[in-house]
Structure 1
Amino acid sequence: MGRSLWIILAVLGGGLILLIVNDSSGETFGMSNDAFGQTLYLGVWGAVVAAGILGSGMRLGYVARSLALWMLLILVFIAGYQYRYELQDFASRVTAGLVPGSPLSITDSDGNHTVMLDKLSNGHFGTRAVINGAAINVLVDTGATSTVLTAADARRAGFDTSKLSFTIPVSTANGMARAAQVTADEISIGAIVRRRVPMLVAESNALDQTLLGMNFIGTLSGFDVRGDRMILRD
């Protein structure tokens, strides 16, 4: 190992001297000084690793298998990073198929999000939203100015309904009711996330289903309906 170290240091020193001498010409052995420097750097590190492996006394077969395993892991991580958006889309499709009402999120290479919602058996578009960390089933209501939570869903989202002031008149499928103003820290539909969203909480038993209103939908770049599917664009 001692002789190998001296050889490595000698190669490194000789390379540095060549770079200094050829600084004005910009080339060393027909290569640009930058390329030569990178080659020298990688070569020295390769020599250090090789010397360490050979000096460890490990069998070459074991070393070769270990290096091959590490190379495979590195390639898997690189591939996972390069295809991260496709993998996210695949996971979203699997989730949407396994959990009814789950939104299907697609993210393009520019990081733009599109979420697709399927029509429910009742003929309305609905999905599973996450409000303040709580999963809540919502109906999309483009006729509603604001998102309106049922009292039960409001409690799931962390609001203390006993301390709310129900003074705002609202029209529901069950008739006129009163609601209270709150602000959600975060609401997300698939990959589309909005923070500090004002919404209403209906009185107990005044609303059967939480409604996703235009104060959320209006923040999107666009949305449209194609058959039994609604498409939301961030």
Structure 2
Amino acid sequence: MSNLDYGSLIYLVLLGGVLVFWFFVQNRQNLTRKVQQLAAWGFIFLGTIAAVGLWDDIRQTALPAQMVFESEGRIELPRAPDGHYYMMLEINGAPIRFMVDTGASGMVLTRQDAEKAGIDPSKLPYFSQAMTANGPVQTAPVRLREVRLGDITDTGFQAYVNSGEMQQSLLGMSYLQRFERLEITRGQMVLVR
């Protein structure tokens, strides 16, 4: 925290202390009832903070998930509330969530997802470069042992590990072009192989 954050925190604690002191002084004749009401409001406040903090987890469990129809070679991805499409793939046996990016040419893993897939990002040579909306980033080419989506398995797949900070691994056209058809209809991305 910066000095400004500490100053704001101290100010808010002092202000809250003054308000609580004033509350007790004004309501000393009905103190038991007021303490019960204060506790109830405190629990409501804490519950609201917990719900806000856990909203992403709650939203992920409430959202419809991708559906893989293996016999048809068909995958349906629902559009997420942020407007993007996400796909879960197993990379070298590790489940990794990708944001589908038709504007990206390749599959790009975050450093954290590369570690989950058994790749040590600190030992990679970051000599290639990718252009992003935020400018150029250094990447390291890797060959993935296995990329699996249900019964669909690709081996020896070329991907990249991003050297910088990236919130989400990207699934670009190098993987998507392996499907015969890609269409977006009624809030769903449908991939057919």
For residue 162 of structure 2, what is the amino acid of its counterpart? A
CA distance in 2 between counterparts of 1:145 and 1:100 reads: 28
Q: Does 1:168 align with 2:128?
A: yes
2:169 aligns with one of 210, 218, 221: 210
CA distance in 1 between counterparts of 2:92 and 2:175 reads: 15
What residue number does 2:115 align with?
155
Query: How far does the alpha carbon of each residue in 1:192-232 deviate from its partner, in whole angstroms, 9 at most, with x for none?
Result: 32111100000131x22100011111111111111210111
What residue number does 2:188 align with?
229
Query: How has the CA–CA distance of structure 1 residues 101 and 130 changed in structure 2, closer, same or farther, with 3 Å as cutoff?
Result: farther
CA distance in 1 between counterparts of 2:70 and 2:159 reads: 27
CA distance in 1 between counterparts of 2:63 and 2:154 reads: 23
Offset of 1:191 from its aligned partner? Answer: 3.6
Offset of 1:169 from its aligned partner? Answer: 1.1
Offset of 1:98 from its aligned partner? Answer: 6.2
Offset of 1:131 from its aligned partner? Answer: 0.7
User: What is the TM-score with the length of structure 2 in the denominator?
Assistant: 0.64
For residue 163 of structure 1, what is the amino acid of its counterpart? K
Task: Tell whether the 8 Å contact from 1:170 to 1:177 is kept in structure 2 after alignment.
Answer: yes
CA distance in 2 between counterparts of 1:101 and 1:127 reads: 12
CA distance in 2 between counterparts of 1:107 and 1:153 reads: 25
CA distance in 2 between counterparts of 1:148 and 1:101 reads: 25
1:107 aligns with one of 70, 78, 90: 70
Task: Tell whether the 8 Å contact from 1:167 to 1:178 is kept in structure 2 after alignment.
Answer: yes
CA distance in 1 between counterparts of 2:96 and 2:121 reads: 17
CA distance in 1 between counterparts of 2:90 and 2:153 reads: 9
CA distance in 2 between counterparts of 1:217 and 1:133 reads: 20
Q: SS of the counterpart of 1:142?
A: coil
CA distance in 2 between counterparts of 1:151 and 1:209 reads: 10
User: What is the TM-score with the length of structure 1 in the denominator?
Assistant: 0.53
Q: Does 1:137 align with 2:97?
A: yes
For residue 154 of structure 1, what is the amino acid of its counterpart? A
For residue 178 of structure 2, what is the amino acid of its counterpart? T
Offset of 1:160 from its aligned partner? Answer: 1.0
Query: How has the CA–CA distance of structure 1 residues 174 and 190 changed in structure 2, closer, same or farther, with 3 Å as cutoff?
Result: farther
CA distance in 1 between counterparts of 2:161 and 2:63 reads: 25
Query: How far does the alpha carbon of each residue in 1:2-22 deviate from its partner, in whole angstroms, 9 at most, with x for none?
Result: xxxxxxxxxxxxxxxxxxxxx
Task: Tell whether the 8 Å contact from 1:101 to 1:128 is kept in structure 2 after alignment.
Answer: no
Gaps of 5+ in 2: 1-59
Offset of 1:188 from its aligned partner? Answer: 2.0
CA distance in 1 between counterparts of 2:155 and 2:62 reads: 25
1:179 aligns with one of 119, 123, 139: 139
Q: Share of identical aligned residues, percent?
A: 31
Task: Tell whether the 8 Å contact from 1:102 to 1:128 is kept in structure 2 after alignment.
Answer: no
CA distance in 1 between counterparts of 2:122 and 2:76 reads: 36
Query: How has the CA–CA distance of structure 1 residues 177 and 106 changed in structure 2, closer, same or farther, with 3 Å as cutoff?
Result: same
Gaps of 5+ in 1: 1-96
Number of aligned residue pairs: 134
Offset of 1:101 from its aligned partner? Answer: 6.7
For residue 219 of structure 1, what is the amino acid of its counterpart? R
